[in-house]
Amino acid sequence: MAGVAKSGRRAWLARVPDSLLTVRSLTRSYGDHLVLDGLDLDVAPGEAVALVGPNGSGKSTLLRCVAGVDEPSAGTIELAGRPLDERDAEIRAALAVVMDDLDFFPDLSVVEHLDLFAKAHGLADAEAQVNEVLEEVGLTTASAQLPGTLSSGQRRRLALASAFVRPRRLLVLDEPEQRLDVGGVEWLGERLVRELADGLGVLLASHHPALVERVADRVVDLGAP
């Protein structure tokens, strides 16, 4: 499957040449441990690229570099032709990230978290958007709860919901299927397919072959020799 665009469902992608995410010669080492060695990667609008590979092969490292929370040792990352820089408001507005290590404000409820994300990004209809996403991820009845009182799967749903209440052009998702129940993974796949149909780009790392098969146009195996 690697490097091969799926035909049919999104065959029109062949006519969308612009790269949303452009990674060139990306190298990341920790001390003398070379994790990523001169990696090139493109994600086009409406395209999903899945990173697969064994534990420790560098998937999260790559995603952290793309998310701007880790510094490449060498190489360049551009989003819609602009160098990745979290001080750039357009970059911040374009990039929605859900990483492996979930991070919440302990004193903000579920609905307050989503409000914060929506309002921070200047969403005009923040309340309606938040309510819609709460319903979609099944957290309406838990909306007044603090993150610490949620189950681990509910916390994952909250993290995903935060990405869907804000503007975005590229979704960066590190093992988004983690801790979701069967229905949750089903919903996630369906939601990502809708995001792709709306022209968003998706870069995800996953250990869930069925999710990868469902959403990914291309698979990059970081464990391949």
For ligand ATP, the binding residues (CB under 6 A) are: 30, 35, 53, 55-61
Q: What is the b/e burial string over 28-46, where b = at least 16 CB atoms within 10 angstroms of the residue's CB?
A: beeeeeebbeebebbbbbb
Spatial distance between the Cα atoms of 195 and 200, rounded to a whole number of angstroms: 6
Q: Which residues make Cβ contacts (< 8 Å) with residue 17, sequence separation at least 6? A: 44
CA 87, CA 96: separation in Å to the nearest integer? 15
- Strand 21-30 and strand 170-174: the pairing is unpaired
C-beta of 103 vs 107, nearer to ligand ATP: 103
Q: Which is nearer to ligand ATP, 56 or 199 (CB)?
A: 56
**Residues 176, 163 contacting (CB under 8 angstroms):** no
Q: Taking the complex as a whole, how short is the minimal distance between the CB of residue 50 and ligand ATP, in angstroms? A: 12
> Token pair for residue 123?
């969403």
CB of 103 vs ligand ATP, minimal distance in Å: 16
What gap in Å lies between CA 53 and CA 220, rounded to an integer?
A: 8
Minimum CB distance to ligand ATP, residue 107 (Å): 29
Measured from the CB atom, is 19 or 60 closer to ligand ATP?
60
To ligand ATP, the closest distance from the beta carbon of 55 in angstroms equals 3
Q: Which is nearer to ligand ATP, 118 or 216 (CB)?
A: 216
| Least distance to ligand ATP, CB of residue 48, Å | 18
Based on CB atoms, which residue is closest to ligand ATP, 165 or 203? 203
